Chain A
Amino acid sequence: MPHPEPPIERPFQMQILRPDELLDAAQTLLADHDVGLGDTPSAHGRMQCAYALRDADGKLSVRYIVSQGANRPWGIWSVDAASGSLPSLANVLPLLGWYEREIQDLYGITFTDHPEPHPLVLHEGFIPSKPPLQTGFDPKAEPIRGHAEPFAEANMVGRDIQRLPFGLIRADVVESAQFVFHYIGEGILHYHPRLFYKHRAMEARFEGVPISTACVLAERVSGVDSVAHELAFSQAMEAALGWQAPLRAQVWRVILAELERLYNHLHYFGHLAKTTTLKVAEAEGIWLEEQVKQINGRLTGSRFLRGVIVPGGLRRDLDATGLAADLNALQPQIEDYLNTLANTRSYLDRLLTTGVLPRQVAFDQGATGPIERASDLDRDLRRDHGYALYPDLQFAVPTATEGDADARARVRDQEIRQSLHLIRQALNQLEPGAIRRTESTIDPAIDGMGLGWAEAVRGGLIYAVHWDAKAERLTRVKIKEPSFSNWRVFPFTVHDSNMMDYAINEASFGLSVAGADR
């Protein structure tokens, strides 16, 4: 079947706004969603993220990326920030709260009337007098030295209220983060995750990097999301340059992305089983994960599927021999495992009604991926803003309405089955052919930027990329990372819950700290 060559459409519409127009724009966006949240939220607008941009002359602006609904171009609002201050939109669009604080920390642009204007990405005690990205990034620079100082947190004093800082170095092999609980007895009054201990300035590291090697960096933002990152980055470049990755590359991209979903989701169930003290189910989950990683290794040379995707297609061709047979052998084991888990009472007892995320909170705070889909928000970039081979394939987007840990697990259970289904369909479309095409059909100077996205394992991932006049080196890369979004949401399910359920609830979110911290 010949692959239709879609006409190249601009994936976004740029709108220049004045600072005093921002609040109105935000309210209009919200009104749009209030009208229609009833049925198909994917059809309605939603703020995605905001980021600061320094142009060649050093002038700062802020860009907002807006979803204008399924199958409609993204909106980009560009606002001049030369004055050093903009009105905060966090009171209208709460999910912007963290983005604005990040911009404030790193670029020094302040946001008036911000509800929580404290540092976020930089920690108290490590804040330099000049914001680190105000004038540029130097990868050779020495880090800003400092000592930890007290940070702003909920002021909770009262009889019997205990404060428990958990971490930063916690039991087991986990990523570094600190969680501060205020609780009485078993009941959690307030929960504050302190992240960004792992902030490595990953976005800034792209500055000055040649487009040809930037995928190596994208793969190293969140290792277990390597494919989604290199894919979103590559698609951003391709859309801007008019490069059309050949069919064979598009097929492989789907297979790689779904293999990534598969090993991550299997790991997720192993971990969830661990928190519900099911030893055998824990072992089986991570054993299935290992088997997929070994398949990845045989297929690509990398257990994380790294080093294959590149702007224009693939770096090298892959050999599908044995892949279908390997997956056929694994599928009944995976299904048996998921079915057995879904019939385990002690497991369900712990998951049901645990960590409920209401739909409206999920929308307002920016939940994404399986987290939002388990709270009845039916969005998935593979379907709503199709890319690679996805528009040609059949798949369901599982959702649930309860918003609890069980719903989050059920959505992932169904996604595993859909991934296997997608890989099989994609393999059927694999025919010999070219794997990379880099003929420019668009003058890269037209927009001066590119936008690419992928539905990562953990949710919607967006790359906004900017480059120099010759389109050789990158000047700015913004990564809208799904774990950043979901970490912002997670505390809303922890306040007013109880200590016993915490670990299960956290596992049911399946977050990456490296991705959030970048």
Chain B
Amino acid sequence: MPLWTWFGIKKGRATTGWPESAGSDGQEGVLGLPKLNADLCTEGAQGCTNCVASCPSGAIALNGAGDQEQSIDLDYARCVGCQLCTETCPSGAFSPSDDWAFGVRDRADLSRLGRPAAPDKKLEEKWQKSLAGFGHSLHIRHVDAGSCNGCESEISALLNPFYNLHRLGIFFTPSPRFADLLLVTGPVTEVMREPLLRTFEAMPEPRWVMALGTCATGGGTNGGGYACHQGLDGILPVDIWLPGCPPNPAAIIEALLLLLDRRPQQVHGGRHDA
């Protein structure tokens, strides 16, 4: 028997059953984006702005400091999960968490100010209707619009034997003509803007767009300046927003299945389901 065939047979199966049957998601110990418990913030009224000052991507906003209306908001679309806020907050309002399944259909769900912390039934039904005519496997065209390559590393991981994305009926395709989903990473450099738009235009309908990684959802630490936009907002119509820096492979699988309505959305109004 040829060498590598035998090698492969000896190795056996490495693929997890997750998320459709029993198995590990592979993310033991992996940190997600921080949890914000605004009620714990006791120092804000005293003028503490540690969290805002520590955040390298401008994700935290402190509104109305000093008066009764005082509130903190964390815009997850900009959060790179660096955990600095969790280290600097004196009252534990920010804490590390393993909340990483951050894919949402509406960007407003990534912040508290956007919408209430409950599923939006109307949006979900509308989504299910738009999927009605879509019966085949999902084909993805990925475009790197200025990533640090962390996101590519995790997208590529989907094809390793552990996640084995193909088992879920999801494939990558070289040609946008065969693609259903445009998967975009990076804050969108200006030189990548037109090639990105042309790729989208080449895709047949129905077509969807996913902003993958915090660079693409809100610019993160790398957006803005002479070379870069602040992610996909205002550049393409986005159907799924998935912050994370980078989102881990399981988070990407959750978001892809959310697109296909095979998994529920787990973040509403800036709060991750318990």
B152 touches A174 (CB 8 A): yes
Beta-carbon nearest neighbor of B82 in chain A: A216
Determine if A294 is an interface residue (Cβ-Cβ < 8 Å): yes
Tell which of B29, B143, B220 has the most Cβ of chain A within 10 Å.
B29
B96 CB to nearest A CB, Å: 7
Tell which of A168, A200, A280, A299 has the most Cβ of chain B within 10 Å.
A200
Tell which of A126, A139, A176 has the most Cβ of chain B within 10 Å.
A176
Query: Given A126-B190, A144-B190, A198-B189, A139–B199 Cβ distance below 8 Å?
Result: no
Report A211-248 residues with CB < 8 Å from chain B CB. 212-213, 216-217, 220-224, 226
Chain B residues, Cβ within 8 Å of A155: none
Flag the segment in B6-14, B35-43, B65-73, B130-138 that touches A: B6-14
Query: Given A174-B152, A286-B156, A199–B227 Cβ distance below 8 Å?
Result: yes
Query: Given A128-B226, A173-B152, A224-B150, A284–B199 Cβ distance below 8 Å?
Result: no
Beta-carbon nearest neighbor of B198 in chain A: A169
B100 CB to nearest A CB, Å: 11
Determine if A249 is an interface residue (Cβ-Cβ < 8 Å): no
B147 touches A141 (CB 8 A): no
Determine if A514 is an interface residue (Cβ-Cβ < 8 Å): yes
Tell which of A201, A223, A343 has the most Cβ of chain B within 10 Å.
A223
Q: Which of B7, B163, B221, B227 contacts A284 (CB 8 A)?
A: B7
Determine if A87 is an interface residue (Cβ-Cβ < 8 Å): no
B contact residues, range: 35 or more
Determine if A89 is an interface residue (Cβ-Cβ < 8 Å): no
Chain B residues, Cβ within 8 Å of A512: 149
Complex Cα–Cα for A279 and B161 (A): 11
Determine if A146 is an interface residue (Cβ-Cβ < 8 Å): yes
B256 CB to nearest A CB, Å: 14
Determine if A293 is an interface residue (Cβ-Cβ < 8 Å): yes
A344 touches B80 (CB 8 A): no
Complex Cα–Cα for A287 and B227 (A): 36
Q: Which of B3, B157, B189 contacts A197 (CB 8 A)?
A: B189
Chain B residues, Cβ within 8 Å of A205: 221-222, 225
Tell which of B30, B191, B195, B199 has the most Cβ of chain A within 10 Å.
B191
A442 CB to nearest B CB, Å: 26
Give 1 or 0 for each of A391-417: 1 = CB within 8 Å of chain B CB. 000000000000000000000000000
B149 touches A222 (CB 8 A): yes
Determine if A140 is an interface residue (Cβ-Cβ < 8 Å): yes
B222 touches A220 (CB 8 A): yes
Flag the segment in A74-82, A110-118, A302-310, A492-500 that touches B: A302-310
Report B83-113 residues with CB < 8 Å from chain A CB. 83-84, 87, 96
Determine if B77 is an interface residue (Cβ-Cβ < 8 Å): no
Beta-carbon nearest neighbor of A283 in chain B: B161
Determine if B116 is an interface residue (Cβ-Cβ < 8 Å): no
Determine if A159 is an interface residue (Cβ-Cβ < 8 Å): no
B83 touches A198 (CB 8 A): no
Query: Given A198-B186, A216-B221, A169–B27 Cβ distance below 8 Å?
Result: no
Chain A residues, Cβ within 8 Å of B7: 280-281, 284, 340
A290 touches B157 (CB 8 A): yes
Chain B residues, Cβ within 8 Å of A198: 144, 146-147, 186, 189, 192
Q: Which of A137, A176, A302 contacts B145 (CB 8 A)?
A: A176
Query: Given A220-B150, A301-B30, A344-B3, A200–B199 Cβ distance below 8 Å?
Result: no
Chain A residues, Cβ within 8 Å of B83: 301, 307
Give 1 or 0 for each of A112-138: 1 = CB within 8 Å of chain B CB. 000000000001001010001000011
Complex Cα–Cα for A406 and B224 (A): 42
Determine if A92 is an interface residue (Cβ-Cβ < 8 Å): no
Tell which of A216, A286, A301, A306 has the most Cβ of chain B within 10 Å.
A216
A278 touches B4 (CB 8 A): yes
B142 touches A173 (CB 8 A): yes
Determine if B153 is an interface residue (Cβ-Cβ < 8 Å): yes
Chain B residues, Cβ within 8 Å of A148: 191, 194
Determine if B154 is an interface residue (Cβ-Cβ < 8 Å): yes
A147 touches B161 (CB 8 A): no
Complex Cα–Cα for A294 and B11 (A): 19
Beta-carbon nearest neighbor of A315 in chain B: B87
Chain B residues, Cβ within 8 Å of A299: 29
B225 touches A287 (CB 8 A): no
Determine if A298 is an interface residue (Cβ-Cβ < 8 Å): yes
Give 1 or 0 for each of A157-171: 1 = CB within 8 Å of chain B CB. 000000000001111
Beta-carbon nearest neighbor of A220 in chain B: B148
Query: Given A220-B80, A283-B8, A199–B189 Cβ distance below 8 Å?
Result: yes
Determine if A257 is an interface residue (Cβ-Cβ < 8 Å): no
Chain A residues, Cβ within 8 Å of B51: none
Interchain residue pairs with CB less than 8 A apart (6): A176-B144, A197-B191, A216-B56, A220-B221, A220-B245, A224-B149
Contacts from A to B (Cβ < 8 Å):
123, 126, 128, 132, 137-141, 143-148, 168-176, 196-202, 204-205, 209, 212-213, 216-217, 220-224, 226, 267, 278-281, 283-284, 286-287, 289-290, 293-294, 297-299, 301-304, 306-307, 315-316, 340, 343-344, 512-515
Given pairs A148-B191, A200-B227, A340-B4, 5 additional interface contacts (CB within 8 A): A145-B190, A176-B145, A197-B192, A287-B14, A304-B153
